Amino acid sequence: MFPVKKRLFSFSLNNKRDWIHNLCLALLYYAGGKFSFAFFYQDKIVTLTAFLPEGLALAAVLIYGPRILPGIFLGQFALALDSGLHLSASLGVALVNSAEALLAYLLAERWKLDIHLRRLKDILILIGMILFILQPFSALLGNGVLYLTGESSNRYFHLDLFYWWFGNSVGQLLLTPLLLMIYTLRPRPKVLEIFLVAGVAAGLNFVLQTAMGIESPALLLLIILPLLLGLSAVNLPYALTAALAFNLSSLILIHYGRGVFAGASGLGNTLFDLDLFIFSTTILILIFGTVFRERQEAVRELQIAYFDPLTGTLDRRHLETKITQCFQDMQIHQTLFALCYLDLDHFKSINDTYGHAIGDLVLKEVTHRIKHNLREYDELIRLGGDEFILLITRLQHIDQLHKVLDRILKALSKPFYIKGFRCIVTASIGAVFVTPEIHNTDELLNIADMAMYQAKKEGRNRYFIAQISSGESNGPSPSPAAMQLPGSEVSKQS
């Protein structure tokens, strides 16, 4: 939906900002129209060239609402008069374009179009509105005005309809999504970067069409399209900027009789080839870029749902599920596993001394070192703060557990160099060696927690492995009192 609910016909004569917006839009509309007519027009204002003012007008009314309609009217009216239309025809065409903009606003509100264009649904709504409602409406009524006022002949009416529909459609598809994305993105794309992308795209187009001598639009498409699609996957507004620069630079080449599209017979055919090229490329960019962006957002949402946002590990919500999987894995492979409770020693002093930003970076590096020393089928889960759970699976003997924990303590004992600071971090680990007879997850966590505190009690920077007397396999779950506390054979310092 729209960021702000807009009132219909909310233009205020006393609002200076409304006046400025409308005057700026009118000037830009007029200038863009003169640029388009400089390359080709038929019956005075009907052009096959991508008519960019239509894209500007559509973006403006979707952003600012009906209060921007006077700017659209004035821009089109001035353009029509300057192109040689009579006053009545100029007024009629300006009213038609204003009505088209109002229709776009009403349809967008009706269909709850999100002008951020984050979803494929919104892209398809915008494309459908342009191709099947707005431009057929505009082309039919606009050419009807020209015919009724004697500005166009019956002989070319069908061509005028097509040129109006196609040129305006390409202009809106090319410019409207770009302007909406630039307006709604936070942070907004930098102007310098946009001009840099446009310059690189135009330069590449000049090289391909002149220096390299490419003569086939199909070959040019094979070169340009993968680059634009790849760019749309990284940054969709930049891909649309590149497509716009490609269109404008191609028009310049056509003007001087150079390039791929200058080879067609007749100026109308030349511009039609270019418009068809831009039309198909722009739709592909919009759909591909949006689908890719939706997929990235889905992956991010999945990561937020399943993984700790700071360290990228699984979070405590999935602890019980992973422990259950470990029990299943134990049955399948006829092995054992260990549940280990890891707590960093005196980590609060890191935050107090260097700040939480440095503390977060230390936690990320701690996670990296632990993962690097786990095996591929082991799991690391962050409970929160500086507490982690390690699930060491597929163990045949307790010595294998000793080797893994020794590696982890040794890795963590090395200094951390974070943004010029030298941080010393150690860890205390409490572990419980799980056998097939034990199935109480809460009891296992409690025992591992007690074992971790025993490791801290014995001097920190070490691990303590609790031994559980399971008794009868069908008997009660083991209690913390069943731990062997303490014992040199199960407590070890790295």
DSSP string spanning 64-121? HGGGGHHHHHHHHHHHHHHTT--HHHHHHHHHHHHHHHHHHHHHHHHTT--TT--SHH
Cβ proximity of 180 and 235 under 8 Å: no
Round to whole Å and give the CA distance between 344 and 403: 19
Catalytic hit among 386, 399, 406, 449: 386
Cβ proximity of 406 and 370 under 8 Å: no
The token duo for 294 is: 């939706």
Cβ proximity of 340 and 448 under 8 Å: yes
DSSP string spanning 369-411? HHHHHS-TT-EEEEEETTEEEEEEEEESSHHHHHHHHHHHHHH
Of 239, 359, 361, 344, the residue nearest 290 (C-alpha): 239
Q: Which residues contact 468 (CB under 8 A, 6 or more apart)?
A: 432, 433, 435, 438, 447, 478, 482, 483
* 424-427: Cβ within 8 A, 24+ apart: 425/344, 425/345, 425/347, 425/350, 425/362, 425/366, 426/344, 426/345, 426/460, 426/461, 427/342, 427/343, 427/344, 427/345, 427/366, 427/461
Give the burial string for 125-161 (b: 16+ CB within 10 Å, else e).
bbbebbbeebbebbbebbbebbbebebbeeeeeebbb
Cβ proximity of 266 and 207 under 8 Å: no
Active site residue 82: no
For the chain, the C-alpha Rg in angstroms (whole number) is 34
Round to whole Å and give the CA distance between 119 and 347: 43
Torsion, Cα 99 102 108 109, to 10 degrees, reads: -140
Round to whole Å and give the CA distance between 277 and 247: 9
Catalytic sites, residue numbers: 386
